[in-house]
Amino acid sequence: MQKIEVVPSLLSADFANLTREIRKVERAGCRKIHLDVMDGHFVPNISIGPAVIKAIRKHTHLYFQTHLMVEHPERYINDFKEAGSDCIIIHEEACRDFRRTVGKIKKLGLEAGIALRPKTSVDTIKDIIQEMDMVLIMTVEPGFGGQAFIKGSENKIRRTKSFLEEKKVKIPIGVDGGISFQSAPLVVKAGATYLIAGNAVFTGDVVKNIKKLYQNASGD
């Protein structure tokens, strides 16, 4: 079985104290952080861009998983590489040419992930899965932190897991949106290994929250 990892989403952190928030995540033993980029077009909300990522890159060695919720992400791949991303996750619907965009990410030496919105079929990945480094199942409609986990998402995670097994592709399945102390064990049971969590991590005591997410995820 692949190792479970809690990947805090910085979207719910205190934006006035990002370095301090990152220290807490490091102290809790996390190795990755999830960075949500929103453009007000692909999703209604606007968040951070490469300048902020570049600024925090100087203060941490954490692995940067950058989730691009932007129209035509191919325009910005270089910028996010320059800013210090280790992995870029894109949505197929947002790209002019999805395959080329994945190629661009890989050519720069970065890992590539595909994010599936709740209504986007697992079939979207069928012709490109060999080139991907991770699949991200959105368990809320992308755009905002703090939303409720969409019930029944476990089925999609299960379908993705069997699909990957069928294709003999060993890559992690991430889940993003509404991951809480309650939903964590459900998604892990269904086959998720990366638990992206914003609100559940940054509301209250960050170190304690991450510890509890790990405990609940492993069924302790």
As annotated, the active-site residues are: 36, 176
Closest separation between CB of residue 141 and Zn ion, Å? 12
Q: Name which position in 73, 178, 190, 206 contacts ligand DX5 (CB under 6 A).
A: 178
User: Phi-psi bin for 183: left (phi > 0), alpha (psi -120 to 50), beta?
Assistant: alpha
145 binds ligand DX5 (CB under 6 A): yes
Positions in 35-54 near ligand DX5 (CB under 6 A): 36
Q: Is 117 in the site for Zn ion (CB under 5 A)?
A: no
Size (the chain), residues: 220
| DSSP per-residue string spanning 156-181 | HHHHHHHHHHHTT---PEEEESS--T
34 is a contact residue toward ligand DX5 (CB under 6 A): yes
Query: Taking CB under 6 A as the rule, does residue 176 contact ligand DX5?
Result: yes
What are the CB-based long-range contacts (under 8 Å, 24+) for 158-161? 158/190, 158/191, 159/122, 160/116, 160/122, 160/135, 160/191, 161/190, 161/191
Taking CB under 6 A as the criterion, which residues in 189-208 touch ligand DX5? 196-200
| Count of residues interacting with ligand DX5 (CB under 6 A) | 21
The neighbouring-strand residues paired with 38 are 69
CB atoms within 10 A of CB 111: 17
Work out how close the CB of 183 gets to ligand DX5 at its nearest, in angstroms, rounded to a whole number.
Answer: 10
Contact between residue 71 and residue 101 where contact means Cβ atoms under 8 Å apart: no
Choices 19-27, 53-61, 116-124, 144-152; region in contact with ligand DX5 by CB under 6 A: 144-152
* CA separation for the pair 84, 189 (Å, rounded): 33
In the complex, residue closest to ligand DX5 by CB: 198
> For residue 161, how far is the Cα from the chain centroid?
17
Using rule CB under 6 A, residue 153 touches ligand DX5: no
Contact between residue 151 and residue 178 where contact means Cβ atoms under 8 Å apart: no
- Which of residues 38 and 130 has its CB atom nearest to ligand DX5 in the complex? 38
Q: Which is nearer to ligand DX5, 14 or 165 (CB)?
A: 14
**Contacting positions for ligand DX5 (CB under 6 A):** 9, 11-12, 34, 36, 67, 140, 142-143, 145-147, 176-179, 196-200
